[in-house]
Each structure stands twice: as C-alpha cells, then as structure tokens.
Amino acid sequence: MLKELVEKIKSEEIDVEELVEKKIEEAKKINEELNCFITICEDYARKRAKEVKQKIKKGEVANLKLVGIPFTIKDNILTKGIRTTAGSKILSNYIPPFSATAVERIEKEGAIIIAKTSMDEFGFGSFNVDVGVGFKIPKNPNDSTRVCGGSSGGSACATKKLEIPSLAESTGGSISAPSSFCGVVGLTPSYGKVSRFGLIDYASSLDKIGPMALSVEDSFLVYDIIKGFDENDETSTSEERSSEFKKKLAIPKEAFDSCEKEVKEKFIDSLKKIGWDYEEVSIPLLKFSIQSYYIIAMAEASTNLARYKGIAFGAQENVEGKNFREYFTKIRSASLGFEAKRRILLGSFVRSVGYKGQYYYKALAIRKKLIEEIEKVFKNFDAFVLPAMPVFPPKIEEAINLSPEKAYALDICTIPWNLCGLPHISIPIKEKGYKQLGFEVVCNRFEEEKLKKLSVEFENKLK
C-alpha cells in the first residue's frame, strides 16, 4: 500500500502538500476525541511537505522510498526541533537539538512527520493509562471507552485512524500490545537491529524501535529503512541470519494458558485458517520471564532516569538558595508520575546491596537460561505463534484500577520475546468492534527475513 502511495506522490498524481494538509486536519480532529497526540507539528510538516514537493519537481526522488508519506512518531523518539516529552511532565517543554537516527533515516527517504504520539510515561505501562502528570489517556479507536494498549498507545491509534505509518518503541511488548488492541500491524525487530541513538532510554538492554503500519509489507518497508548498524549506537548491528524452514509452528504453552477463553478460541480459529503444522511446546521457565523482565527493566530504568533532575534540560525551577538534594527531589517528585516513581524505586531496590543477588543477578540468570531454552525450540520450529495479548482491550477504568502485579502478569504474551531480543510481529485478525486481537509471530534472533515470509503468508490467509 505504501509503495503504491509513494509512486502516486512521485508521479504527482497525489499532491504531497494536499495530502499532508489533509492528514494534519484529520489528526487534529481525532485528537480531540481520542487524545492520541501529544504534539501535532503542523508548521514543521508543512515546511517538510514544501521541501519534498520541490525535490519531486527537481526529479531528485527517484530512489527514495517514503516520498511524501506522513508519519507519526512515538514521543520518546527524539525529533529535532519538535517537542519530545517521553510522555512525562519532566520533559514537557523539551525540544531536542538532534533527531534519532531512525528518524533521520526515514526523513532522508522523504517521510514527513506530522505528530508525536501519546505514550505511557517513559514507556512504563501496557495499557497507556500510566500517562505523565498532566497528560491525557488515549482512547481505543474502535471503542473510545477502552484502552489503546501501551506503551505505544497513541501510535497504534493514529496508525489505525489516519492510516499512516508510525515509528514506535517496545521494551516489554509496547509495540505488540497496542497493535493488538487497536488492530494494526506492529513489528518489533531483534534487539540491536535498529539504532537506539536518539531513543529516550527506558531499559538500555531491552529497548527497540519498530514500525507500525496497516500491512505487513508496509511495516517491513519501513523496517528496511531504519535497520542496520549506526556508529552512534555501539549495540546496533546489521547482522542477519537465516535458517531452513521446518514448516512447523510452536504455541508456547505457558503463555497461551494465561489467555482468556475467547482469546484462545479466536486465536486457534486463525491458526487453523493458516493451515500450518503446529504443536504446543512447554517451557516452564517462560512463566518467570515476567519477573526477570521487570527486575532487569526497572533496574536499568532507575539508572536511566537519574539524569532528569532539573539541570541543563527539562523541567527547571529557580535554584538559588536551595541545597541540591532539595532541588532534585522537588523537581523529580513534582514532575514524575506514580508508576515512574515506583519503577525507579523498585529498580534501585533490586540492585541494592543485600538484594542484588536474589533479584538482579537471578533475573539475569533467568534471561540467560530462557534464551537457551528457546534456542532449543527453534531447532525444530520456525516460529512461536500466540495471541499478542491474553485479553481483549479492557475499559479504561478497569485498566486504571488494575493492581500493578496483575497488570505486569498480563504481559506474558510479549515479555519472553522482548526479554530475549527476538523479532516478532503482531498481525491483526480481521474484526469489527473492540474485540481486536493480534496474531503474534516470533522468530529467532536476526531472522527478520524468515519472519517477513511467514507474516506475509499468514496475513494473506487471515484476511
């Protein structure tokens, strides 16, 4: 779909400035109702549209793959000159002096950013209800009394409603969850395949940038542009792997069993439509991926958020006469939301003296073992398949009142892959109404090619 649209824009069948103007208007309209945007950068978008139009007129766009395509960007990905908040009050006026590498790469191909999308504060949430102080909760595009899913809720909502792609981010499942709840395609690449330079850190060993779009082909189109080694991020890589097809899919028992009955039924129906050989596989350690993930993620988050204290950037106040402890505490306590504080504190706790062994080091051990166990499964199977979320989108009130440990447990369908850095995609099972569900496919590390082949085929069969 994107490919055709790009062709029409290049041939000027569709006028890029008109297209962008249209999307800006739509964005403003849906934002009134659904709160999916933190910033709509209309001036910037118009300026970019003009630039792209000139390039088209000069004939300089022959090889560019995203010419004129309007994009939304999750608000924890830095965009130069456009306010970037990570969904938090502590950055509510922060205008980055540089863009993330992923953003630069899509803009180089002609993409036009029109808005920054809503998210859980710093990525801390699976339902996009843990928004920062003063921010609004985005509403599900299919039923505005329900949640979008998180933490990239705004991105999924915008992708669905505006029918334009988005750059989102996942740490524990933040691309799959909202993709599943809103009914769009969300691709989470292997950890390291997309540069994290310019991504506001949540957990450095778990964060990944990935695209959301309306089709598998579109999501991989965007992925191909943003992927690959970046010298600014040492953990990034261009490595690609392949393995022969075993023509067999694995259902991870421990995750599948946690799903609601109707979710399971809907999933199995889809699986049958796909027609591949499948088997239920048990990995007992999978259950503990939740603990392992949250311990590691919180520990790293507590260090990553230590830079937000009112010095040099972000929320600031008059310092004079204050002792630094007072000042830091005041700014942080007033500007960070409750979930953010919780994760910082528990994150500090699990790496503190006396507890580090039983929590942090144990969590690392679990992760290591889980990677080994999963590797064994991939010897005989091409991919894991399962529902992207164990439930349908809950009502906003329900999600807000969910106790944290119960909320964390609901990540079971996405956390194991995120913890181990495996590439996965959520493909929407066609459905009207709010009972959206993503069909999740997980492949082995760096096997995005295989993932693409499988998901293109499955998407077709699920139409």
Query: Which residues 200-229 are close enough to bind other proteins by CB under 8 A?
Result: 200-201, 203-205
Query: Which residues 17-56 are close enough to bind other proteins by CB under 8 A?
Result: none
116 binds other proteins (CB under 8 A): no
Q: Give the Cα separation of 27 and 42 in Å (integer).
A: 10
135 binds other proteins (CB under 8 A): no
- Which of 33, 95, 240, 277: binder of other proteins (CB under 8 A)? 95
Query: Which residues 68-87 are close enough to bind other proteins by CB under 8 A?
Result: 78, 81, 84, 86
91 binds other proteins (CB under 8 A): yes
x-marked contacts with other proteins along 301-320 as a string, rule CB under 8 A: -xx-xxxxx-xxxx-x--xx
Please name every residue paired with 140 in a beta bridge, in sequence order, or none if there are none: 143
- Local structure of 293: helix, strand or coil: helix
Active-site residue, selected from the candidate residues 126, 151, 236, 302: 151
Q: Give the Cα separation of 50 and 126 in Å (integer).
A: 38
Query: Which residues 228-287 are close enough to bind other proteins by CB under 8 A?
Result: 231-235, 237, 285
Choice between 86 and 425, CB closer to other proteins: 86
Report the Cα 363 to chain-centroid distance in Å.
23
Burial of 171 (C-beta count, 10 Å sphere; 0-12/13-18/19+): buried
361 binds other proteins (CB under 8 A): yes
Burial of 81 (C-beta count, 10 Å sphere; 0-12/13-18/19+): middle
Query: Which residues 323-342 are close enough to bind other proteins by CB under 8 A?
Result: 324-325, 328-330, 332-333, 336, 338, 341-342
Q: Which stretch binds other proteins (CB under 8 A): 54-62, 170-178, 216-224, 344-352?
A: 344-352
Choice between 137 and 295, CB closer to other proteins: 295
Choice between 15 and 228, CB closer to other proteins: 228
x-marked contacts with other proteins along 403-432 as a string, rule CB under 8 A: xxx--xx-----------------------
Q: Give the Cα separation of 224 and 187 in Å (integer).
A: 12
Q: Give the Cα separation of 359 and 336 in Å (integer).
A: 25
Active-site residue, selected from the candidate residues 99, 155, 166, 174: 174
Provide the H-helix boundaries in 124-260. Answer: 153-162, 176-182, 216-226, 253-256
Provide the H-helix boundaries in 231-361. Answer: 253-256, 261-274, 289-304, 324-335, 338-350
Q: Catalytic positions, please? A: 74, 151, 174
